[in-house]
Amino acid sequence: GIQVEQSPPDLILQEGANSTLRCNFSDSVNNLQWFHQNPWGQLINLFYIPSGTKQNGRLSATTVATERYSLLYISSSQTTDSGVYFCAVNYGGATNKLIFGTGTLLAVQP
Amino acid sequence: DAGVIQSPRHEVTEMGQEVTLRCKPISGHDYLFWYRQTMMRGLELLIYFNNNVPIDDSGMPEDRFSAKMPNASFSTLKIQPSEPRDSAVYFCASSDPGTGDYGYTFGSGTRLTVV
């Protein structure tokens, strides 16, 4: 089956710093999403981005489907950005069925 | 919209008891998903529905697990009998790909502890 690898596994930043999280996947996909799980456990959808680039405030994401990777950029990080960031892609021939990576744990220190 | 609503938020039960988790998807969303999150296995898909019909239940771990969606606004995940290894956070999510956006919206989850 498809493999989803995220890097780095964990990251510590000072407030105000920028970061790039990476998601590699082993097969072609037509559904890729980024999620943030906050310290209270809530999973928030950040982007649906099977290809191309999107931006939402301080966050942006780029997916290069032909090269099987996606990047999530966080600029001017804030303590509220702390948590786990998951990449998820579709699998099993179904567009709407997602498998999740193991996540990147981000800690932003004041 | 109030988002995806799950209940209860926390459930502690004794081994062997029946547990029922509930989910109300976002109105108009025609896909509903049940996921389980554990430290060891991460987030794993258990089952998903399209227009109230189960499409893929290959992730349901064993016959002790069952899920239903009697109407577009309600789904249940039942575990009978429960075992300590079922302890996890269970999430429900919904989506509306008819808009062209396959983005999932997750509920707050139910933290299940089986003792």
Give the three-state DSSP class for B63: coil
CA distance linking residue B7 with residue B24, whole number of Å: 9
Residues A57-69 pLDDT 10s: 999 999 999 999 9
Q: Compute the nearest-CA separation of B77 from chain A (Å).
A: 18
Using the Cβ of A48 and the Cβ atoms of chain B, whether some distance falls under 8 Å is answered with: yes
Q: Compute the nearest-CA separation of B30 from chain A (Å).
A: 11
Q: Is the model's pLDDT at A48 over the cut of 80?
A: yes
pLDDT at A91: 87
* Residue A92 pLDDT class (50, 70, 90 cuts): confident
pLDDT at B82: 97
Using the Cβ of A9 and the Cβ atoms of chain B, whether some distance falls under 8 Å is answered with: no
CA distance linking residue B50 with residue B65, whole number of Å: 19
pLDDT at A94: 85
Using the Cβ of B106 and the Cβ atoms of chain A, whether some distance falls under 8 Å is answered with: yes
* Residue A93 pLDDT class (50, 70, 90 cuts): confident
CA distance linking residue A64 with residue B73, whole number of Å: 36
Residues A11-42 pLDDT 10s: 999 999 999 999 999 999 999 999 999 999 99
Query: Mind spelling out the 3-state secondary structure of A20-72?
Result: EEEEEECCCCCCEEEEEECCCCCEEEEEECCCEEEEECCEEEEEEHHHCEEEE
CA distance linking residue B60 with residue B77, whole number of Å: 10
Residues of chain B with pLDDT under 50: none
CA distance linking residue A29 with residue A26, whole number of Å: 9
